[in-house]
Amino acid sequence: MALLLRKERLDDFLQSLDGQLAAPVRLEHGEVHFAINPPVEQILQDSDYVNSTISPVALLFPQTEVLFKFKLNGKPQIELPKEPKPLIIFGIRSCDVAAMRYLEMFFSRKFIDTPFVERAEKTTLISVACQRPGRNCFCPCCAGGPFLEEGHDLQLVDFGDAFLVEVGSEKGMRLIYARGQFFEPAPYELNEQRNKLAEETLQKFEIASHMGTGVRKLTSRAVSDELWRMMAARCIECGGCAFVCPLCTCFDVVDHSLPCSSNGVICGWRERCWDCCQFAGYSMEAAGVNPRPDKVSRFKRRFYHKLSYFYMEMDGRVGCVGCGRCIQVCFGVVDMPAVVNTLREEKLLGARLR
Amino acid sequence: MEQGLGEFGERRAIVLAYVNCMWGECGMASQEFFQPLWNGRNLYEPVLARIVEVADETPDVKTFTLELDGGAIDYLPGQFAEVSVFGVGEAPFGISSSPTWTKRTGYIQVTVRAIGRVTNALHRLKVGDYVGVRAPLGNGFPVEHAEGKRVIIVGGGIGLPPLRSLLNYMLDNRERFGKITVLYGARTPADRVYKGELEEWERREDLEYLDTVDIADEEWQRLGKRVGVVTTLFPILDEQSPIDPPNTVAFVCGPPIMIHFVIIELEKRNVPDENIISTLERHMKCGVGKCGHCAIGHKYVCTDGPVFSWAEMKELEWMCAEPAV
Ligand SMILES: Cc1cc2nc3c(=O)[nH]c(=O)nc-3n(C[C@H](O)[C@H](O)[C@H](O)COP(=O)(O)OP(=O)(O)OC[C@H]3O[C@@H](n4cnc5c(N)ncnc54)[C@H](O)[C@@H]3O)c2cc1C
Ligand code: SF4
Ligand code: FES
């Protein structure tokens, strides 16, 4: 089913939505950020931005989050965080929608990660298909975009003065049913034009990452130790790639506490915060043993995790959506496409040869 | 995990998870997952537990007996618990009591060596103090696999807690298992845990018990007991009760280096890889397969392990191109 949403009705539509609205805005130094309930006039239009610096999946899996609070006074008392409010993410890009679905799968595998899954259940994704990919984007290589065929609740395709609205889920359907007044049926030709737009967009990408080759090379262990060493030597272990990667889920857990009254009562909280498998302390055990003591083994771990078929069996898809954020942050040019293409060529590539 | 569910079975839920993949079968796929098995509403919310007894095992090892709020839990030998000292943190410990003992008493036990922040804070706690517990976690030992077979339990130092759980479980279900042999090695006599129980095992008729220490003290020498690493017990075994490879299941826990050499001894005696059962230790945080710290290859030690057969470990090593043990 396809519908049309006229742009002059967009503001009213957004304001009619229940719950918090997250939408892309431009901060004063130029970076794009998903803000909660921003003034409607500041919300960026499709052609105004490529994507946000930090993926909006961070709204569901934030950099630090309190797992529970406690009060120690005799028998400890535990207080859980409040249930999350409904959230609508407007303007999320295709790659980040794909990332969100991956995280949902990961966080509900075997055990349900309560904080994430509770939020995900109450989150609706209204994505805007990309027609101007950025210079670091390579989503077509990872089934992550630029137009979505699945995964979105609603997907908007910009047609100048109106959006073509595509419904991808029941959640999206319900949202529209309750607000029929904003929509009109889309003319049939628009569908054809949409497919043409999607095709044209595919021609605009500047880089490619041959994920399939990477998967095969790693899974069959066809990569020489020498090549691993050369690539790992370039990594400065800053953890930037993991922190911007919308699919990286590793976290650390820490307790904090302080006296909260004069009679010895202690108050505190346990929080989780993003962690990164490239850090030496990540796998260090208490007795001082470290199963991945050197940079090469940690570097290998990162790419095996994202690309090896055995690992993907668990997560169901390659651990990359092609958003290109790691390219932006990696000082050593050992981001995803650089590594994949190095594996493919079997020699270290220069910065320009992604 | 499945076997351990017991009365908690009804908490299991089936959902439809959205699967988006590159390799053919895409679309909706049904996925099974578990609610927390403990009382917490939240996966990370521990259940409060009161310390009812603290026993000194060695100068740096204590066994804590815990009474859980909301009653006893059902578990398998080899599963572990995440124990919290509020304000300090949480750490994983093998449950050292047996499920059969828990059924009788309502308590669970963990045996802890003071080695870092959480473990030292635990050691400072006293009877009546509270900790948090998330348990049972991990897969546990494949006890059915050992049914009707000869069982060899090899423990090194502080590796004994999960094996103690297993052994006591087997002794409570003695008729289900064949001959049971326990080999225990420690650095010094003082480093041995559960000393009272060791003596009892030594006295039992339905159990073969051999122990050794790396460095003897005077008392040990006076008694004329064995000195040497745990692998020196194997030649003795060969003489007094030789291993019948296909009908033998070995359970091995201890420091990685000990596991390594014990596996070599077992392989020399043709025990099949599937029958050599051991545990892997990794840095853990969440215990539920989310934080990533314990991952080795495509497995998470906290949910796919900590118990693995030697066959599985070898496969893992190949797949992730790094050593497991
Ligand atoms: C499945 C399993 C069963 C275990 N069973 C026992 C047992 O029965 N008895 C016992 O004494 N010890 C056991 N350990 C080891 C025990 O978990 C560590 O000694 C403990 O985590 C150290 O925590 P700490 O805070 O005192 O040390 P710190 O060095 O201060 O460590 C800080 C944090 O790092 C993590 N960490 C550090 N080392 C380890 C490690 N080796 N394993 C897992 N997480 C670690 C923990 O989250 C810990 O809170 C077990 C470990 C695992 C994985
Ligand atoms: S990677 Fe694809 S979906 Fe993501 S911002 Fe770039 S073009 Fe859009
Ligand atoms: S301990 Fe967190 S994933 Fe295993």
ipTM, interface predicted TM-score of the complex: 0.88
Would residue B323 count as lying in a domain?
Answer: no
Would residue B155 count as lying in a domain?
Answer: yes
pLDDT tens-digit profile of B218-272? Answer: 988 898 889 989 999 999 888 888 888 889 999 999 988 899 999 999 999 999 9
Please give the Cα distance from B64 to B71 (Å, whole number): 17
Give the chain A residue nearest B2 (alpha carbons): A110
Joined together, the tokens standing for residue A341 give: 């293409």
B287 and B165 share a domain?
Answer: yes
B131 and B163 share a domain?
Answer: no
pLDDT tens-digit profile of B141-151? Answer: 999 999 999 99
B112 and B160 share a domain?
Answer: no
Q: What's the pLDDT at A262? A: 78
B98 and B150 share a domain?
Answer: no
Kindly report the average pLDDT of chain A as a whole number.
Answer: 90
B226 and B305 share a domain?
Answer: yes
Q: What's the pLDDT at B209? A: 93
Q: Domain count of chain B?
A: 2
DSSP, residue by residue, A53-111: SS-GGGGTS-SEEEEEEEEESSS-EEEPPPPPPPEEEEEE-HHHHHHHHHHHHHHTSEE
Inspect the interface and report whether the beta carbons of B291 and A257 lie closer than 8 Å. no
> CATH code at B264?
3.40.50.80
Q: B86 contacts in A (CB within 8 Å)?
A: 70, 72, 76, 255, 257, 266, 268
pLDDT tens-digit profile of B179-198? Answer: 999 999 999 999 999 999 99
B154 and B278 share a domain?
Answer: yes
Please give the Cα distance from A142 to A320 (Å, whole number): 6
Mean pLDDT of B135-164: 92
pLDDT tops 50 at residue B17: no
**Contacting A residues, span 296-315, partner chain B, CB-CB under 8 Å:** 297, 300-301, 304-305, 308, 310-314
The sign of the dihedral angle between the CA atoms of B241, B246, B250, B255 is positive
Please give the Cα distance from B317 to B273 (Å, whole number): 14
Percentage of chain B surpassing pLDDT 90? 65
**Ligand nearest the Cα atom of residue A129:** 2
Residue A264's pLDDT band (cuts 50, 70, 90): confident
Q: Is A130 in the pocket of ligand 2 (CB under 6 A)?
A: yes
Residue B16's pLDDT band (cuts 50, 70, 90): very low
B126 and B223 share a domain?
Answer: no
pTM of the model: 0.88
Among residues B71, B102, B137, which one ends one of the domains? B137
CB atoms closer than 10 angstroms to residue A57:
27
Residue among B189, B167, B202 at smallest CA distance from B77: B167
B148 in contact with A, Cβ within 8 Å? no
pLDDT tops 80 at residue A353: no
Residue A59's pLDDT band (cuts 50, 70, 90): very high
Among residues B74, B106, B137, which one ends one of the domains? B137
B83 and B176 share a domain?
Answer: no
A100, A137, A202, best to mutate for ligand 2 pocket (most atoms within 8 Å of CB): A137
Residues B227, B215: contact at Cβ < 8 Å?
A: yes
Residue A350's pLDDT band (cuts 50, 70, 90): low
pLDDT tens-digit profile of A2-46? Answer: 899 999 999 899 889 888 999 999 998 889 999 999 988 899 988
Among residues B106, B137, B168, which one ends one of the domains? B137
Residues A231, A348: contact at Cβ < 8 Å?
A: yes
Q: Which residues contact B264 (CB under 8 A, 6 or more apart)?
A: B231
Domain segments of chain A as ranges? 2-54+82-202, 211-247+278-353
B86 and B128 share a domain?
Answer: yes
Give the gap in angstroms from C-alpha B116 to the nearest C-alpha of chain A: 6
Would residue B318 count as lying in a domain?
Answer: no
Please give the Cα distance from A95 to A134 (Å, whole number): 12
Would residue B321 count as lying in a domain?
Answer: no
Would residue B127 count as lying in a domain?
Answer: yes
Residues in chain A: 354
B13 and B161 share a domain?
Answer: no
Give the structural domain span for B291.
143-313
Give the gap in angstroms from C-alpha B251 to the nearest C-alpha of chain A: 22
Which ligand 3 atom is at minimum distance from the Cα of B284? 1
Q: A84 alpha carbon to ligand 1 midpoint, in Å?
A: 32
CB atoms closer than 10 angstroms to residue B237:
17
Tell me the H-state helices in chain B.
99-105, 117-124, 143-146, 160-172, 195-203, 218-222, 233-240, 256-268, 310-320
Inspect the interface and report whether the beta carbons of A251 and B285 lie closer than 8 Å. yes
What is the three-class DSSP state of A164?
strand
B184 and B63 share a domain?
Answer: no
B165 and B308 share a domain?
Answer: yes
Q: What's the pLDDT at B201? A: 92
Of the ranges A17-21, A43-47, A184-188, B316-320, which one carries the lowest mean pLDDT score?
Answer: B316-320
- The partner residues of B67 in beta bridges, in order of sequence, read B50, B107
Would residue B253 count as lying in a domain?
Answer: yes
Residues B62, B111: contact at Cβ < 8 Å?
A: yes
Joined together, the tokens standing for residue A54 give: 């930090």
Mean pLDDT of B50-72: 93
Would residue B178 count as lying in a domain?
Answer: yes
